[in-house]
Structure 1
């Protein structure tokens, strides 16, 4: 059985990369050692291969079955890519047959229980000590785990890839563009929309625009402008927690990387997922290359607009390009004739965003309302009078009144109370 399985895995057509990782390679080494003739050196190699396989699963903190499901659902191959753009009927029959063939083999691998593999190794090596099987509990459920025959799940698999994507877009929901590549963020900010208090009209407008994007309707690029600590960045990040199951992905692009916006758009435009390009704390200097790149994305060019991508930018500056008194026209021979046009272009750059949401500094009532809601969500076991007094003192001694200050106060108060409780 183990020798046959070893050869079957090497006959995979589309899903070969399921085993091109530490866990998969360790499993193949283990099967290879099991398939060889019984010699002392082979037995030692088998024991080492078994240990490496268990260690690789332990490092991931995952069961063998969950690992297999994960790799299949993340796999980037000709089928998982093409089915995101075409129906099953439009795909070549030979491609569908290849998927069914691979799924049949992968199902056999999935049902290789670690206890059974331990038994094979124990029997083959005939060692006089008991080997430890990897018995980590399986927690993943999917259409694959509920099917008797995986070859019958091609349609379900196609629907999954259309919704969640494949490769890096199935594995992660948040990304950072750096050094010309997308890097997945394993642990994005877990903040939720209900944790962002006040600025309800701004929140409503941003949510509505995001839902337009997810529904495939025209959606606007958005500038979130206002005082520091008002929750602009948190609001954008919270959209990911709310809508990632509907195919939303968030890509953070730093100002220094904005020159690559054209490249990023071309990578994303044909994907079924919807993308927010998130630019935090945006402002430009004169003749900034990033300014020109973003201007092209906001205004368009000869290349068609990517309907599945919007830019959400935050800034503390209403006019995103710094203007100096020296920029103002003073007629002289070497000056530009229509200098005021240049000044106006700088000042109007923010108008190129289809939607501008303004976040004003919090007054005391707003600040205390944010504190009150956060205290309720955190189940702070103090009376409102005590919390209110402490919150006012915190704002005076620290960063003033803002949503960020309120969050910092609640976090500190929680820590203080937990320490006091031992």
Structure 2
């Protein structure tokens, strides 16, 4: 381990961000200490263990995997070009990336055994240092659960084209934070899958077909998922994201209070090589709210065309998303023609928002028979052993006491029943 690695790290230009990582900086500091003259055992051991501490704080105890993850998640001109499919191995940027990736591979493969031996040699006359060094943690080995992306530019071109770059290559669900104007990864997304959505086959078929058209690069429609609460509207959107996340689809939830940021959000995502569904849950506006104007412009009618890699999927419990008041209709039958025009215009503007979604998919609450069938399916999934008649009796008691018959109510009942039965077994 010589100063050559430090010089190579100084030569990075495409992957320069990696040199700012704390663990990498501490390793560089450790190399300088071991190659320097005036250094104490305490500071050497402290820096060595500081590398391990940083790895643990970031949920990765392996330096090789840590560096590999840094290279995969780094957003730079090379990785973004790969994501967009606009680069090949003969491109000068790809050739430079190939050189830098090989440097970073050498960094990732730094041997703890070699470092420990250097420490022993450095302080050869100190028996305590030898004793302490023998007990230092080994924070580097080739990770068995590596993403297997390879370290050549050619391999990375293929990997980033499929998986994306930056934060979008390691997460599939995001929430837009308007305060920082960033996309925050959802670390524990809902794992719901399409096959766990019951008695919504027609709705599922239409939503999946539209999404497939979108992923194929064709013109698809924005979708409004409308219906009773608890009927699976939001679950449908999340299940679609889970189904197609490995095909380059990412889901970004936009809180309603940040809808005025929609032009900025679409601008941030429009240049990416991935496809994005912007998800707005429980969409409804009061009469005084102005955010619906910004949303309407994005849906259709704004000066800027909606990017081809972005769709809007929204859920609502209201057929007419913007709430109306009877007072707004007073002018419709007035003798004052001026009042009638203003009232009709106001009403039409409010109704036009829902119309700007190309597709509206309707969800309805299940009948008793369907509700009980859903309960039985969920009980089977959860491996609940119970007499079918007793299960139905308990399910009906639950829906009467709580939220009525819906898939959400069925899920809440099954979760409670499973917990109750497991507690009694203990």
What count of residue pairs does the alignment treat as equivalent? 413
> Counterparts of 1:246 and 1:257 in 2: how far apart (Å)?
28
> Counterparts of 2:244 and 2:123 in 1: how far apart (Å)?
51
Match of 2:259 in 1: 258
- CA apart distance, 1:274: 0.6
Secondary structure, counterpart of 1:128 in structure 2: helix
> Counterparts of 1:185 and 1:92 in 2: how far apart (Å)?
35
Gaps of 5+ in 1: none
Match of 1:118 in 2: 116
> Counterparts of 1:197 and 1:24 in 2: how far apart (Å)?
50
- CA apart distance, 1:25: 2.7
Secondary structure, counterpart of 1:84 in structure 2: helix
- CA apart distance, 1:372: 1.2
For the Cα contact (< 8 Å) 1:222–1:356, is it kept in 2? yes
Secondary structure, counterpart of 1:176 in structure 2: strand
For the Cα contact (< 8 Å) 1:223–1:313, is it kept in 2? yes
Match of 1:379 in 2: 383
Match status 1:294 vs 2:292: no
> Counterparts of 2:316 and 2:338 in 1: how far apart (Å)?
34
Shift of the 357–125 alpha-carbon distance from structure 1 to 2, 3 Å rule, reads farther
* Residue-by-residue CA offset, 1:89-116 (whole Å, 9 max, x unaligned): 59742x2231121112112112223343
More deviation, 18-27/331-340? 331-340
Shift of the 361–203 alpha-carbon distance from structure 1 to 2, 3 Å rule, reads same
> Counterparts of 1:81 and 1:259 in 2: how far apart (Å)?
27
Shift of the 334–88 alpha-carbon distance from structure 1 to 2, 3 Å rule, reads closer
Secondary structure, counterpart of 1:310 in structure 2: strand
For normalisation by structure 2, the TM-score amounts to 0.90
More deviation, 283-292/270-279? 283-292
Match of 1:320 in 2: 321
> Counterparts of 2:330 and 2:90 in 1: how far apart (Å)?
62
Match status 1:394 vs 2:398: yes
Shift of the 210–86 alpha-carbon distance from structure 1 to 2, 3 Å rule, reads closer
Match of 1:12 in 2: 12
Matches within 5 A, 1:172-191: 172-178=171-177, 179=179, 180-191=181-192
More deviation, 99-108/153-162? 153-162
> Counterparts of 2:265 and 2:253 in 1: how far apart (Å)?
11
> Counterparts of 2:121 and 2:401 in 1: how far apart (Å)?
70
* Residue-by-residue CA offset, 1:336-391 (whole Å, 9 max, x unaligned): 53532432332242111101011111221121111111111111122323322221
Match of 1:209 in 2: 210
Matches within 5 A, 1:7-406: 7-40=7-40, 43-62=41-60, 63-85=62-84, 87-89=86-88, 92-93=91-92, 95-126=93-124, 127-129=129-131, 130-134=134-138, 138-145=143-150, 150=151, 153-178=152-177, 179=179, 180-330=181-331, 331=334, 332=336, 335=339, 337=341, 339-406=343-410
Secondary structure, counterpart of 1:356 in structure 2: strand
More deviation, 334-343/411-420? 334-343
Shift of the 68–236 alpha-carbon distance from structure 1 to 2, 3 Å rule, reads same
Shift of the 240–28 alpha-carbon distance from structure 1 to 2, 3 Å rule, reads farther
> Counterparts of 1:155 and 1:268 in 2: how far apart (Å)?
25
- CA apart distance, 1:207: 1.2
For the Cα contact (< 8 Å) 1:176–1:182, is it kept in 2? yes
> Counterparts of 2:256 and 2:159 in 1: how far apart (Å)?
34
For the Cα contact (< 8 Å) 1:88–1:155, is it kept in 2? no
Secondary structure, counterpart of 2:130 in structure 1: coil
Secondary structure, counterpart of 1:312 in structure 2: strand
* Residue-by-residue CA offset, 1:50-95 (whole Å, 9 max, x unaligned): 11111112223322222122111111112112333354359742x2
Match of 1:420 in 2: 424
For the Cα contact (< 8 Å) 1:38–1:124, is it kept in 2? no
Let me know the Cα RMSD of the aligned residues. Answer: 2.2
> Counterparts of 1:189 and 1:30 in 2: how far apart (Å)?
42
